[in-house]
Amino acid sequence: MTNAELISQDPGWIIALKGVIIFAACVFLTIMSVWGERRIVARMQQRSGPNRVGKFGLLQALVDGVKLALKEDLIPKAADRIVFVLAPIISTTTCFMAFAVIPLTGEVNFFGYKTAMQLTDLSVGVLYVLAIASVGVYGIVLAGWSSGSTYPLLGGLRSSAQVISYEVAMGLSLVAVFIYSGSMSTSEIVAAQDRWWYAVVLFPSFIIYAISMVGETNRAPFDLAEAEGELVGGFHTEYSSLKFALFFLSEYVNIIAVSALATTLFLGGYRALPGLGFTEQWLGGWFTLVWFFVKVLAFFFVFVWLRGTLPRLRYDQFMKFGWKVLIPFSLAWIMIVSTLRVMSQRQSSTFLLVAFIFSVTFIYIGITSLMDRAKVKTDIASKITNNTEPDFPVPEIPNSRAEQLNG
Amino acid sequence: MADELMPRSDEFGLAKSDAAKAPITNHERSSLGKQLLGFWVTFKTMFKKVNTVQYPEVKEPTAERFHGRHQLNRHPDGLEKCIGCELCAWACPADAIYVEGADNKEGEQFSPGERYGKVYQINYLRCIFCGLCIEACPTRALTMTNEYELADDTRAKLIFEKDDLLGPLRAGMVPPPHPMYPNTDDGNYYRGEVTGSHPSQGIAKND
């Protein structure tokens, strides 16, 4: 039975219970991931990280949450009060909603009912996640705008531009998955990966998705929206107390959500690692939950690793990378994938297949060599223009330097 | 390319040899593999020994000449070294020291010579621990200890009085006020010729 059929038989109370469980799991995971991130980043910098509250500092995030809740809740005078309150609510609710379509387990025994840990199975599940993520941007934009202050506005604009541009690349990277699985339903995509994960089959798509999901969640090295050195706190500068806590929560739930989506689409979701398929039957199917979270946490580790390693990009570099590298590349990749797909469906001859792959390689080599030549030309051109006298007065160039440049 | 990245000083032929020793590498064309090396660095570091000192439980000794809390020293017989000259207060760039000198009187001798510091205050909210006061002190009365735990919860508590700053009485010292060592003047004290107290000065601390 597929997940969709299993879920369709759920009585109302199971649906409600599942919703509560997923919500609680998200909050718990957020708290633990804040702690985990701080510990891991600390280790990467040869520090030990929070280790005071509870064993290994495990309660640190919880205590921070309590502290945040007890703080004074300020609304600036210049702020638009309604939107100001609404913004964190939008951004939190939307990131939780993405989890509704993520299949956490296969078939399990849930209080005597055969069901799957998935709240609902839409036939356009992945589109729904993308749509929800886009609505989530409103939270950030409105927060920036309604604060009535300069830096939050700039941060909000930055992050909206960022999320919009990276969502294009993200959506394009998913197209290849849709083409191969023939479905947009999350559970069917997982089922379609029973032999090969799409992270292997569609490796370029996987890489593009992995990069754009970091951009999408405003995380380092793409955390331009809250670049402390430039924008103070970014869009949440004016927020305090519980409203700030909501933004904090939504950021981390978002990370978990995109990681969960990546797991579902590329790493075979709740299915066991290759060769360990027998474990899927353990604990009456509940062991698949472990596999799912192992994969999600692996993604989370990569998020933290990125943060610990890479410096923040400049805004123009970031935009250039999104629009001039990721999007054209994924467009080209989609063309290749769809051609290959059509070929294999029509059972074309091996000769045709090889010919296609060769022609693609030739075109790639041709384009890159042309680009290299153009680059050399512009380099030479820029050198020549550098040595000509400008038509405005400039201070004298020191002799030794001029001699060096002219050979 | 290399010309572009030469250090500025080289334009004037100032540090040609230095520049040759430390060439600036051009990172523009470094390969993807080289860029990914950074990930290996952070990953490797995770398994290194943590550098953190668990401070309140574990206290590592400071550097030998660490600038900590001040101390007002004593002569070997227990008399104070401070002569109330206020040079420390004048030297202080943060205006953290307040000194009031007074005359030593017969039967009320605190330091060898004519004068002693009657009031001596250091405001640790102002002090920047630069040590200029120590350099200024003509009698080595003022030195710094390695004590750095100087936090407190009120401003008043962080103005240290003379009592807080005076060094402890060691064995053989007599708590002032008491007369100077018999048949000596302040010169003998400064030359280090007084090495302990005399029974006529009072009852010495013994332990």
Among chain A residues, the shortest Cα distance to B57 is held by: A52
User: Token pair for residue B145?
Assistant: 């200890």
Among chain A residues, the shortest Cα distance to B43 is held by: A44
Q: Do the Cβ atoms of A47 and B43 come within 8 Å?
A: no
Structural domain includes residue A18: yes
Mean pLDDT across A114-128: 82
Structural domain includes residue A384: no
Q: Which residues of A touch B12 (CB under 8 A)?
A: 398, 400
Among chain B residues, the shortest Cα distance to A311 is held by: B38
A191: containing domain: 3-331
Q: Which residues 28-57 in chain A show a CB within 8 A of chain B?
A: 40, 43-48
SS3 at position B29: coil
pLDDT digits (tens, 9 = 90+) for B152-198: 999 999 999 999 999 988 888 888 888 888 888 889 999 988 888 88
Structural domain includes residue A246: yes
Domains held by chain A: number: 1
First to last CA, chain B: 75
Structural domain includes residue A259: yes
Structure ipTM: 0.71
Structural domain includes residue B140: yes
CB pairs under 8 A between A and B: 40
Say yes or no to pLDDT of B12 above 60. no
Mean pLDDT across A162-188: 86
B84: containing domain: 70-201
DSSP state of B166: B
B82 & B21 share domain: no
B37 & B82 share domain: no
- Nearest beta carbon to residue A309 from set B6, B38, B50: B38
Q: Do the Cβ atoms of A45 and B12 come within 8 Å?
A: no
Q: Looking at CA atoms only, how far is residue B45 from chain A in angstroms?
A: 5
Domains held by chain B: number: 2
Structural domain includes residue A381: no
Q: Do the Cβ atoms of A48 and B50 come within 8 Å?
A: yes
Say yes or no to pLDDT of A403 above 70. no
Alpha carbons A215 and A303: distance in angstroms, whole number: 11
Among chain B residues, the shortest Cα distance to A382 is held by: B1
B41 & B76 share domain: no
For residue B131, the model assigns a pLDDT of: 92
**Which amino acid is residue A5, in one-letter code?**
E
Among chain B residues, the shortest Cα distance to A407 is held by: B3
**Is A378 near chain B, with CB under 8 Å?**
no
Structural domain includes residue B57: no
Q: Which residues of B touch A45 (CB under 8 A)?
A: 45
pLDDT digits (tens, 9 = 90+) for B92-111: 999 999 999 999 988 889 99
How confident is residue B2, by pLDDT bands cut at 50, 70 and 90? very low
B26 & B83 share domain: no
Structural domain includes residue B160: yes
pLDDT digits (tens, 9 = 90+) for A182-208: 888 888 888 888 778 888 888 888 998
B38 & B76 share domain: no
Alpha carbons A66 and A195: distance in angstroms, whole number: 46
Alpha carbons B8 and B3: distance in angstroms, whole number: 11
User: Token pair for residue A40?
Assistant: 């891991």
Say yes or no to pLDDT of B8 above 60. no
| Alpha helices, H only, A267-398 | 287-309, 315-320, 327-345, 350-387
Alpha carbons B33 and A314: distance in angstroms, whole number: 22
B115 & B22 share domain: no
Structural domain includes residue B184: yes
Q: Identify from A44, A325, A372, A396 which residue to disrupt to test chain B contact, counting B C-beta atoms within 10 A and taking the largest count.
A: A44
- Nearest beta carbon to residue A404 from set B3, B42, B49: B3
Q: Which residue has the tokens 């410096």?
A: A311
Structural domain includes residue A346: no
Question: What CA dihedral angle connects A60, A62, A63 and A68, to 10 degrees?
Answer: 120
Q: Looking at CA atoms only, how far is residue A48 from chain B in angstroms?
A: 6
